[in-house]
Structures are given as C-alpha cells and as structure tokens.
C-alpha cells in the first residue's frame, strides 16, 4: 500500500530529527538520545497509520558530510507519484554557522521544484518557557532570513511535553493548506471587551510575539488605545488593543468615544471588531457591552463584528456551541454577530492553528463584506445618545458664554457694553449662535466707546 504522504527529515546533527520523527509516529522507533556523537548514521524509515493517514517517515543522518547519500535517496523517489513533505529541522535555542550551512545544504538537495513542499521545523520548544517563537525570530536576523526564504512555512515542536497533537497540526496544515491569501494582504483588527478578559494576551497570540502588556496587576494592563503590527500568515496584520471596560465605567458615551479612538488607530478603518470574552467569567460588564453594542453598530457596522472567547483551556472537552447556547445573553449576541466566533487558548501560543482559524474567519467576513472595512459613518449614536452628549456639554457651553460676555462687557464699559453682553449671553446660549452673540457684544462696546469719547 502506497503511503498518503512521505515525510523526510533533513538537518544538522543533534537538532532533533529522530525525536521529531518519533513524535509523528507516536512511539519510539528511531534511536534518539543526547550525545556528543551522531546517533543516526544511516537513512532509515518507518511506515505507520496515524491521524487517519498512511504515513511514511524517513530519518536521515546529519546532512553535512552526507549530502550525496541523501541526494541520491531523494532522487530515487518516484516524486511525481507521491506526496512529499520535507522537514528541515533547526533547534530554536541554537542556530550556529554550522546549522546555517546545514539548512543551505538541505535547500540545495530539495531543489526548486520541491521547495514549496518544504517546511522549517523548530525543535526544543520547551526552552522558550513563556516566550513566543516570534520574539526569538525577531531577535535573530539569521533565523529571520531563513524563515523569509521558506515564505513563512514553519512549525514548532516540543518533543518533551508537546504531545502528538502538534504533529497532527503540522500534517493538517500541509495536507489541507489554507485558502491562498494574496501576499501582504492587510487585515486591521480592533479588540474590545471588559477589563481582564484577555484582550492583550489575544493580541500577542495573533501577532506571534509579546507586543502588548499583560498581567494581573492593574498597572500593567492596557490603559490607552494602542496598536501593533506584524506579518502573520502572509498578511500584514494590525491589532488595536483598547482599555478594558468595567460595569461602573461603561456608558454609551464612553463606548462610542473608544470606538472612535480605535478607528483612528486602525485607519482607514478596521476589517473586524472583535469582542473578547473570557470563558467561565461572564461579568456584568460583558452583559452591558452586549446590550450597548447593537445600539451603536448600525446594520452595516454589525457585519464587521465577531466574538473571541479566551481561556479555551477551561472548556475541558465541553462543546463551545453548547456553552454559548446555555447563556441567553451570549447566544443572542453571537446571533447578532452572524454566528461568528472563535476560541483561543492563550496558554498554548505556540499552537498557530487557532490563529490561522481566527484569520480565516476574519477573511470570510472581509469577503462577505466585499473586501471593505468599517468607517466612522457606520457608528453614529442614536438620537437618545446624541441628546445625552449635548446635555453633558450644555453646562460647559453656558459657562463659556457667561465668561466671554462678562469679559467683553468689562473691557468695553459698563453702559452699552453691559447691555450688549446681556444680549450676547441670551444669543450665545443657543447652540451654534455663540459667534452672533459675541458680535452683538462687540457692537455694544463700540457704541459705548463712541459715546464716551464725545
């Protein structure tokens, strides 16, 4: 029986090729141990039925010094008739000049014809601790260059604690590639939600590196609207992180003004407004936000909203659909968003499948909206909210008119200037007639001056 896919591991000695091959198969087949000397000295292979596929895994010795042996093996493969996946293995915690030479040798053996079937496989993911792969790549220009050469096709393995699911994700990405995206297509995303809901962590997960401050300390979380940009899955992604709401602070006016500020950061307009909600922690602020958003988002703007549930690890096998429909407020709001939602487990930031799924949903929304984005015209407050804003401004407007009228009256004189000031005040309290009031004040003052000079 011919395999559905043949996976060939290539790379320097000691980078974790054999351990990664064992991870895919799900058991220890290839010798793998820490050693100062090469453990794999010849090409060996194993066929196994995993993830519903018939997989052939090929382990190779360190490529430097074995180029001809490996090249001959690859050339003898019936390439036109088989599904090939080349995994060029690199340790994430070490990339020496020798490792770089090994990558170049692997690229040469793979050749231009098969290069799009090649992925970078970073190993030793356990050494990242709480850091993200994107941060490591950003700090190492040599690794960045390699990733760019592979056009962003890379994956991360933790061969100690990662489990077989990371191998399944890699195979799914290869066998069922995402819908092609135009290189460098732009996506602008605004995150809104309650304080402590996980907006900043979600933003970091999307961008693949620590860009936004996170933490339990109130001094560390977002207090202003900020944006960060990165290239993610062949897209230029801008994420706007907004200050979290509390039940006490959330008003229609505050929500409207915050949306306006986020539109500036996501200029010329966001492709998606993402309401971030923490699983198992539905607060009064969340409920209030669900109630207020529909009043601000008109029928056009509502097409650009989706829900992102964070702390996906809390599900513990429970269906997200069941959880949504168990809460009336949540289910109604998700329905208003056209049923668009996604789930993040921010404790597994190395799992890029959740990010790809999220971006796919954003892409679907953009396509459904004809490729357009939100504009400020879509977020006009209703009449009740306008009246509230004007009511807040009336005392300030009245005080301003009184001060101006009084100042001009004193400067112009008490007689006609005072009369003019009074008339100006009466005219000025009417909205948009302040200028007319001031003109009358000045005319009154001028008359007084002319009569007093005589």
Residue 180 domain flag: no
What 3-state DSSP class applies to 305? strand
251, 373: one domain? yes
Per-residue model confidence as pLDDT tens for the chain (454 residues): 678 899 999 999 989 999 899 888 888 888 876 555 566 678 999 998 888 888 999 999 999 999 999 999 998 887 666 789 999 999 988 899 999 999 999 999 999 989 989 999 999 888 877 677 777 887 888 888 898 899 878 888 886 766 677 888 888 778 765 444 445 689 999 999 888 888 988 998 898 878 888 765 444 455 688 999 888 877 889 999 988 877 666 777 777 888 888 888 888 889 999 999 888 767 777 788 887 777 777 667 778 899 999 988 888 778 888 888 888 888 888 888 889 999 998 676 666 788 889 999 999 999 999 988 888 777 655 445 555 555 555 555 555 555 555 555 555 554 444 454 554 555 444 444 445 555 555 555 554 444 455 4
Q: Which two tokens stand for residue 323?
A: 């959880």
Position 449 in a domain: yes
Backbone angles phi, psi at 154, to 5 degrees: -150, 160
- pLDDT tens for 372-409 read 888 877 765 544 555 555 555 555 555 555 555 555 55
State the Cα–Cα distance between residues 434 and 438, nearest whole angstrom. Answer: 6
Query: Looking at the structure, do residues 290 and 387 belong to the same domain, yes or no?
Result: no
Do 375 and 387 have their domain in common? no
Q: What is the DSSP letter of 92?
A: T
Q: Is-contact 70 109, C-beta < 8 A?
A: yes
Domain boundary among 175, 193, 219: 175
Judge if 154 and 69 occupy the same domain.
yes
Q: Are residues 304 and 439 in the same domain?
A: no
**Tokens (6 digits) for 102:** 């090994």
Tally of CA atoms within 13 A in the half-sphere of 426 that contains its CB: 6
Alpha helices in 381-414 (DSSP H): 383-412
CA distance 142 to 64: 19
Last residue of a domain, one of 379, 400, 431: 379
- Report the CATH number that the domain containing residue 243 is assigned in CATH: 3.40.50.300
| Domain carrying residue 323 | 185-379
Same domain for 327 and 392, yes or no, is no
Tokens coding 226: 């900020």
Same domain, 329 and 252: yes
In a domain, 193, yes or no: yes
Same domain, 81 and 110: yes
- Could you tell me if 221 and 169 lie in one domain? no
Do 95 and 193 reside in the same domain of the chain?
no
* Residue where one domain finishes, among candidates 313, 348, 379: 379
Q: Identify whether 31 is part of a domain.
A: yes
Distance, CA of 95 to CA of 78 (rounded, Å) = 33
State pTM to two decimals.
0.59
What is the number of domains present in the chain? 3
33 and 52 share one domain? yes
> Residues 152, 282: one domain?
no
In a domain, 370, yes or no: yes
């Amino acid at each position: 029986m011919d395999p559905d896919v043949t996976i060939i591991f290539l790379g320097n000695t000691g980078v974790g090729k054999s351990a990664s091959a064992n991870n895919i198969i799900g058991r220890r087949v290839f010798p793998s141990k820490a050693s100062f000397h090469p453990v794999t000295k010849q090409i060996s292979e194993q066929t196994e039925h995993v993830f519903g596929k018939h997989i052939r895994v090929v382990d190779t010795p360190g490529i430097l010094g074995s180029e001809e042996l490996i090249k001959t093996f690859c050339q003898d493969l019936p390439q036109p008739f088989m599904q090939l996946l080349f995994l060029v293995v690199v340790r994430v915690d070490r990339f020496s000049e020798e490792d770089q030479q090994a990558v170049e040798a692997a690229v040469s053996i793979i050749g231009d014809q098969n290069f799009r079937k090649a992925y970078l496989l970073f190993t030793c993911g356990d050494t990242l601790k709480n850091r993200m792969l994107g941060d490591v790549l950003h700090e190492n220009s040599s690794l960045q260059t390699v990733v760019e050469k592979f056009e962003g096709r890379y994956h991360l393995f933790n061969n100690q604690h990662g489990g077989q699911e990371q191998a399944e994700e890699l195979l799914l990405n290869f066998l069922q590639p995402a819908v092609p995206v135009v290189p460098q297509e732009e996506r602008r995303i605004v995150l809104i939600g309650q304080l402590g809901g996980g907006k900043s962590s979600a933003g970091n997960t999307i961008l693949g590196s620590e860009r936004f401050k996170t933490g339990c300390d109130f001094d560390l979380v977002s207090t202003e609207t900020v944006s960060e940009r990165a290239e993610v899955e062949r897209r230029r992604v801008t994420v706007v992180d907004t200050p979290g709401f509390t039940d006490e602070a959330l008003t229609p006016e505050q929500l409207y003004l915050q949306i306006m500020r986020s539109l500036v950061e996501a200029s010329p307009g966001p492709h998606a407004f993402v309401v971030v909600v923490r699983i198992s922690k539905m607060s009064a602020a969340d409920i209030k936000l669900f109630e207020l958003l529909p009043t601000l988002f008109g029928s056009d703007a509502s097409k650009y909203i989706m829900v992102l549930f964070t702390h996906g690890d809390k599900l513990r096998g429970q269906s997200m659909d069941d959880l949504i429909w168990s809460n009336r407020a949540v289910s109604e709001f998700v329905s208003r968003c056209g049923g668009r939602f996604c789930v993040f487990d921010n404790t597994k930031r190395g799992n890029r499948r959740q990010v790809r799924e999220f971006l796919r949903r954003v892409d679907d929304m953009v396509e459904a909206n004809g490729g357009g984005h939100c504009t400020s015209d879509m977020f006009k407050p209703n009449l009740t909210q306008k009246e509230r804003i004007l009511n807040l401004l009336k005392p300030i407007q009245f005080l301003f008119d009184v001060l101006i009228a009084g100042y001009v009256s004193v400067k112009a004189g008490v007689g006609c200037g005072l009369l003019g000031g009074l008339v100006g005040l009466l005219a000025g309290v009417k909205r948009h007639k302040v200028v007319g009031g001031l003109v009358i004040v000045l005319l009154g003052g001028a008359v007084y001056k002319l009569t007093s000079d005589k």
